[in-house]
Amino acid sequence: MRTNRRNLLYASIALLPTICMFQILIELFPYTGLGRIVALPLVFILNTALIISIIHLIRKFSPLCCALILVPTILLSIWNTILFYPQESSPSIPKQIKYSISAIQHYDDLTLADWEGYTYSPSRSGASERYVVALYKYKHRVPLDGTAYFYNDTDYHKDHPIRSLNGIPSELRASSSIHLVVAQNI
Quick: pLDDT tens for 125-143. 777 788 888 888 888 887 8
Structural domains of the chain, count? 2
Integer Cα distance of 65 and 167 in angstroms: 51
Residues 10 and 61 in one domain: yes
**Average pLDDT, integer, range 145-153:** 72
Residues 77 and 97 in one domain: no
78 and 142 in a common domain: no
The answer on 115 and 68 residing in a single domain is no
In a 13 Å sphere around the CA of 157, the CA atoms on its Cβ side amount to 22
Q: What mean pLDDT comes out for the span 67-87?
A: 92
| Domain enclosing residue 32, as ranges | 2-83
pLDDT of 105 > 60? The answer is yes
Q: To the nearest whole number, what is the mean pLDDT of the chain?
A: 80
Domain end marker among 29, 56, 83: 83
* Gap between the Cα atoms of 29 and 12, Å rounded: 25
Q: Identify the pLDDT of residue 1.
A: 56
88 inside domain: no
| Boundary residue ending a domain (19, 51, 83) | 83
pLDDT band at 2 (very low <50, low <70, confident <90, very high): low
